[in-house]
Every structure is written in C-alpha cells, then in structure tokens.
C-alpha cells in the first residue's frame, strides 16, 4: 500500500502543475523519491489516526454535507503530511491537494481490493476491525438472534419473482432454493405508499393517513408524508394512538426511513430531520462506520457521478427510441436518482453493517433506489432491473457481515408497496386532474397547467440530508376553490372554505356538474364521497352509486380492483381527514395499468394492479405470517407479525402495540 501510494504521488507530481515534490532549483531523483515516500507514509498514518477523530467531531453535520467535506478534509491532511518532512520542499495548491488526496485514497482502496474489484469482503473485514475494539470493551454478545428488516422500497411481489427468475437477484434466489426463507405476498391499504405502509409497519397504526398528501382541515395545512414536519407529526399521532413507541424500541436502529420506529439509533430518518441535533438523534454507528474511511467517500463519489452519466445515457436513448410511456427525466432528476441509488444506499448499508457488528437487537432499513428509478423508467424496465441487481449485492453484503457479528442474525426482506405501470393521466387525455376538477366546477381552466408534485421519497431525502426545508406549495386560487392533490393514481379534492367533510348533497348543491364530470370520465375508476343519506357512497360511470355499507354485496365500480378493495375503501371512509372527494384512476385488470395523476409511469398510492401487492421474505425459523388459506392484509397486520417474530427470538420481550382501532 505504501509503495503504491508513493508511486501514485510521484505520478501526480509529474502531471499536475500545482503539485511538486522538489524545489524550483531541482533535486536528485533519490531525494524526490524519499520525499514522496515520506509524504505517502505520513498521509497514510494521518488517515488512520487523525481521520477517525475528525469524523467524530463532525457527526452533527448532515450526512450529505459530511460526504462533501470529506474531500476538503482529506486534502488538508495531505498538506499536513507534506509539511511534516523538514527536509522537503514539496508544495501543493489547496485545490490540487484535494485532487491528489482523493486519487491517492482511491488508489489505496483499489490496492486493498475494495474499489477496483469491488471486493465487498475487504470492506466487510475493515468494518469488522472497526467494531472489534469497541466489542472487546463490552460484555460478551447475547446468544439470542438479532433481526434485520431490510425494506426494498417499491418492489412488488411479482417483480421480485420475475427478477429471481431472470437471475438478477441470486441472493434472494438462494434464500428460496435453500429453503431458509419463505415468500409471502401481502395486500396494502388503499393508500399504497411508503408513508402509510411504513407508519403502520413501524408504529402499528396508519389510522387517518388517507394518501401520500392530503389537506388537513383542522390544521389548515397540506400534510405530506415525505415532508419532515409532517412525518414528525404523523409519528407523534401514531405513538399517541397506540400508546407504544414502535417496533424498534428495544435496542433498535432505524436507517433511511420516514419514521423512527422508536429506535435509539437513527440515520437518514425523515421524522427527526427538523429536530435540533443532539445525542438523542445523531447516529455515530451509522455515519462513523462509513465515513471513518475516506476511501468510502471517494468510492461513493465516483459511483455517484457514474450513475448521473448512466441516467443521462438511458434517458437520451429512451428519447431517441421514442419509448412510450415516457416522462421528463431532465433537470435535477439525474442527481436525485444518483443520491437514491448510490449515496443513500451506501450510507444505509454501512449503517446496517455497523449495527450488526455492534450486536443490536433489531434494525429496520429502507433502500429507496428501485422505487425512484421505477417511477421514471417503469417498474419492469431494464433500468429498474439493473437497480435490483445492485440491491441484491447490498443484501449479499449484509448477509456476509452476519458471519462476523457478535450474535446470530435473522434477515427479513420486505417491501412497503409495489408499482403499477401506465402512462400519466395528463399524457393520455391532455389535461390533469386539477384542470378536470376546475372544468367540472365551471371555473376557468388555465391554458398552461402547473405540473403536479412528485411523490418520490428520494427528493425529500436529499433535502433532509442537506437540511433544506421541504415545502408544499398550496395551489394558487381563492380559498373557495377546490384544492386538488395527487398521490400516484389516487386524487384528493378538498374545499378549504368548508370546515367539515362535505357530503355528496352539499357538493351537488355547490357544483352540480362536478361529481358527474369526474365519475363519467374514462380515466377515472371510481369516486368516494360522504353521503347524508347512506353515510358514504362509491360513484362510477353512468350513474352507478353504491352505498359503502353495501359494497360486500354489490361491488359496483370496485369490481375491476379485485378482492379487498371494498374493505380498503370502507376503512379509508372512516378516517377523520378523508378528502371531500377521493378519486381513484382507471385500472385495466388485463395488463395491470393505472393512470397516474403525477408525472410518473410507474406509480403507487391508490388501488389497482401490482402497487397493492408487496412481499414479505422471512426465515422459516419464524412462525408462519398468517394461517394457511388466509391473506396478510394491511401494514398494521404486518407490524403485528414482525412484533411476534421479535418475541420469538427469546430476547428482550417486545410487547404488542396497543392499537385502539383494533
């Protein structure tokens, strides 16, 4: 390593004009070589001894900012290393020092087998050595197994099986072929998105979460599941509702999630992003395990820019081939995708490995890479399949780390929802849901419609990592005008000037043509509204009107959405903050297509298709998730299953959440 670093420094001194290892008058080749060897050795020693201390001092810095500071600090260490040799006249401009340090770190990492050949075993061994010193100071690790819950965001049950069949996910395939794990599909609630699903899984309830975003008439605010302030409020409500801290309250860690689950250790958790950083919400194990080696930041940076280039190439190719359906993939999207598929993945995986090496009892981590790419490239696209391959490698790395952990680990892989394909509502009909609602109300429709907000989780994660506020702009217009929000193929229409949930009769009196316009549109599957006569009704085309209480006998417009749709609609109807009009898009059961009200060709958030069918891949040593012949329904039931499994490990007793809605 020292020899290679010395040669690297000599080469860089020869090609970089602002970096030299000799005085202007010139020196012997031997003196230059000795200077390079001393500088490389000093840089290596400083990286090993001083660098971990610097990272500890900077743990309160946001994760993404810390990743960028790595390069500046690494360059500073190089300048110090060059100054330590009193007989040397080596000099480097500050900006050149950053480049030299980055290249030397990358070359050193490659020499060790962690970069060039992507030797994950070498990386695993380094993390093991990092945790070994701390572990020697602690009592012997518990003999009872710990549990790692790894969430592959947005990966549907059928997509997983297809990827296994194509050989894209060999680690998952080994789980199934060796008989160590069982695969169980489960059915989401009507709101098939991460906010509702993960809140239910981690905190035992997703009561009163009707969509990804909705208008709260009590607070007069738009609630958005991936906005830090909203996530914190939803978590607070869930804890108050159940009287329980969450799934991870016993020696738990939460990594890359929207919610904490009651964990003491948290990294990239959105619900704490707005808090003042302190001991209770910083994550030494997460960030330190990753950034303590500067080569990791170099590797992540190189992969980040490679991913940006990959996305630009893929989107250009799709544009040239005139692929349909297609959405815009320009602007900042390549960088958002690179964050989700590289930075977030690397930090979260490193944090999970650190948790395992520290012997934590329960870890829950979310990897959002597939979900972000599938939104823009399609759930079954080649782009998305490539992401699944890389996620499987991350899973394999976590599995291998278990060999060095101080306790055995059981690994559960699951998803929070799937994704359904289809072009956007606007692309098919030339107008968005907001314009259709305005037309049905007899209001002027602007010639140039505003684009809908994206519900992708990665955008808010980038902002949270940078500590930038995530704001939801309220649609322009007077307070008496309807507010239209989108959550995949689920639309919500609210009238902010009415303090209560409006009834069908009230809506008809104010806007006689609105409900008929929406229900008869070919891109809309059904509507849910409150009714003074029936309590609640589901509306469809040609005057179809089915009371919510009669949906079991007469499915009406819900027939195309399959079993369970009636229960999902009935449950959402009972929520206090259900919108005045709930709009679910058209769904074609033949090909699983839905029409997103957002600019996404792979969407989730409502009923219809694969979005409502995620998976649960669990070790067979755990009890069956559900009795034979029964179906696992709803995130709250998944939470109860995971709680039961934690109790089965014979470790610290984890009580069931007290869900007052049960």
pLDDT tens-digit map of 128-164 = 665 565 555 555 566 789 999 999 999 999 999 999 9
Q: What does the alpha-carbon distance between residue 89 and residue 637 come to, in Å, rounded to a whole number?
A: 68
Lowest mean pLDDT among 49-53, 391-395, 543-547: 49-53
Number of compact structural domains in the chain: 2
Asked whether residue 74 is assigned to any structural domain, the reply reads yes
Q: Confirm whether 549 is domain-assigned.
A: yes
| 464 inside domain | yes
Q: Which of 248, 252, 216, 287 is nearest to 55 (CA)?
A: 287
Q: What is the mean pLDDT of residues 279-293?
A: 53
> With contact defined as beta carbons under 8 Å apart, do 464 and 273 qualify?
yes
Query: Residue 295: what pLDDT?
Result: 66
This prediction has a pTM of 0.82
Confidence of residue 18 (pLDDT cuts 50, 70, 90): confident
Displacement of CA 446 from its chain's centroid (Å): 34
DSSP 179-199: TSEEEEEEE--SS-SHHHHHH
Percent of the chain with pLDDT over 90: 51
CA distance 63 to 69: 10
Question: Is residue 544 pLDDT above 70, yes or no?
Answer: yes
Final residue before a domain boundary, out of 609, 628, 652: 609
Question: Across all residues in the chain, what is the average pLDDT?
Answer: 83
Q: Within a domain: residue 171?
A: no
**Whole-number pLDDT of residue 283:** 44
pLDDT tens digits along 344-389: 898 899 889 888 988 899 999 999 999 999 999 999 999 999 999 9
User: Which of 70, 95, 111 corresponds to the end of one domain?
Assistant: 111
Quote the distance between the C-alpha of residue 445 and its chain's center: 35
Does any domain span residue 62? yes
What is the average pLDDT across 629-637?
94
pLDDT at residue 280 is higher than 70: no
DSSP assignment of 254-296: EES-SS-TT-SEEES-GGGTTSPP-TTT--HHHHHHHHTSHHH
Asked whether residue 240 is domain-assigned, the answer is: no
**Lowest mean pLDDT: which of 270-284, 433-447, 592-606?**
270-284
Please provide residue 603's backbone torsions phi and psi, each rounded to the nearest 5 degrees: -135, 165
User: In this structure, is the dihedral angle defined by the CA atoms of residues 175, 181, 182 and 184, taken in order, positive or negative?
Assistant: negative
The residue from 72, 95, 111 where one domain ends is 111
**pLDDT score of 21:** 75
Return the pLDDT at 274: 63
What domain range includes position 69?
2-111
Q: Are 168 and 384 in contact (CB under 8 A)?
A: no
Answer whether residue 628 is part of any domain: no
505 inside domain: yes
Tell me what pLDDT residue 174 has: 96
Q: What's the pLDDT score for residue 332?
A: 82
């Amino acid at each position: 390593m020292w020899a290679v670093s010395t040669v690297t420094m000599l080469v860089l001194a020869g090609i970089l004009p602002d970096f030299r290892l000799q005085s202007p008058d010139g020196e012997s080749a031997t003196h230059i070589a000795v200077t390079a060897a001393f500088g490389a050795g000093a840089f290596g020693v400083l990286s090993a001894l001083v660098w971990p201390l610097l990272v500890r001092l900077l743990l309160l810095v946001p994760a993404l900012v810390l990743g960028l500071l790595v390069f500046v600090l690494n360059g500073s260490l190089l300048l110090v290393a060059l100054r330590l040799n009193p007989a040397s006249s080596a000099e480097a401009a500050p900006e050149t020092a950053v480049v030299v340090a980055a290249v030397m770190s990358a070359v050193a990492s490659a020499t060790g087998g962690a970069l060039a050949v992507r030797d994950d075993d070498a990386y695993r061994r380094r993390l093991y050595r990092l945790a070994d010193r701390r572990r020697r100071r602690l009592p012997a690790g518990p003999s009872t197994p710990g549990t790692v819950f790894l969430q592959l965001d947005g990966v549907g049950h059928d997509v997983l099986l297809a990827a296994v069949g194509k050989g894209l996910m060999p680690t998952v395939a080994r789980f199934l072929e060796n008989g160590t794990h069982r695969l169980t599909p489960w059915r989401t609630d009507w709101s098939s998105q991460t906010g509702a699903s993960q809140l239910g899984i981690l905190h035992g309830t997703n009561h009163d979460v009707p969509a990804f975003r909705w208008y709260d008439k009590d607070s007069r605010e738009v609630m958005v599941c991936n906005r830090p302030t909203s996530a914190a409020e939803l978590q607070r409500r869930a804890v108050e509702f159940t009287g329980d801290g969450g799934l991870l309250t016993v020696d738990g860690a939460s990594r890359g999630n929207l919610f904490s689950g009651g964990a003491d250790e948290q990294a990239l958790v959105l619900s704490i992003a707005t808090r003042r950083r302190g001991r209770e919400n910083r994550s030494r194990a997460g960030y330190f395990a990753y950034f303590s080696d500067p080569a990791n930041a170099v590797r992540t940076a190189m992969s980040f820019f490679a991913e940006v280039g990959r996305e630009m190439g893929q989107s250009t190719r799709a544009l040239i081939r005139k692929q349909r359906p297609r959405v815009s993939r320009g602007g900042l999207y390549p960088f958002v995708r690179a964050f989700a598929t590289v930075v977030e993945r690397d930090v979260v995986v490193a944090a999970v490995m650190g948790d395992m090496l520290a012997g934590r009892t329960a870890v829950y981590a979310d990897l959002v890479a597939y979900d972000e790419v599938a939104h823009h490239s399609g759930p079954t696209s080649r782009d998305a399949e490539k992401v699944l391959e890389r996620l499987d490698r991350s899973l394999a790395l976590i599995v291998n780390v278990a060999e060095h952990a101080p306790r055995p680990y059981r690994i559960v892989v699951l998803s929070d929802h799937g994704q359904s394909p289809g072009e956007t509502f606007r692309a098919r009909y030339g107008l968005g849901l907001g314009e259709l609602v305005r037309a049905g109300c007899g209001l002027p429709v602007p010639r140039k419609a505003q684009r809908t907000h994206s519900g992708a989780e990665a955008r808010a994660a980038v902002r949270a990592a940078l500590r930038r506020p995530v704001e939801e702009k309220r649609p322009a217009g007077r307070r008496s005008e309807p507010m239209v929000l989108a959550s995949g193929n689920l639309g919500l229409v609210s009238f902010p000037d009415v303090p209560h949930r409006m009834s069908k009769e009230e809506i008809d009196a104010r806007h006689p043509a609105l409900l008929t316009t929406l229900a008869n549109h070919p891109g809309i599957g059904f509507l849910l509204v409150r009714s003074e006569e029936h309590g609640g009704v589901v509306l469809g085309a040609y005057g179809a009107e089915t009371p919510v209480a009669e949906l079991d006998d007469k499915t009406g417009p819900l027939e195309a959405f399959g079993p369970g749709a009636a229960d999902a609609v009935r449950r959402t109807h009972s929520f206090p903050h259900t919108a005045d009009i709930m709009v679910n898009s058209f769904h074609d059961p033949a090909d699983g297509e839905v029409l997103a009200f957002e600019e996404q060709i792979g969407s989730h958030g409502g009923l219809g298709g694969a979005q409502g069918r995620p998976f649960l891949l669990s070790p067979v040593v755990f009890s069956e998730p559900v009795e034979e012949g029964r179906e696992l329904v709803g995130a709250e039931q998944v939470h109860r299953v995971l709680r039961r499994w934690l109790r089965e490990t014979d470790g610290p007793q984890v009580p069931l959440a007290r869900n007052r809605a049960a």
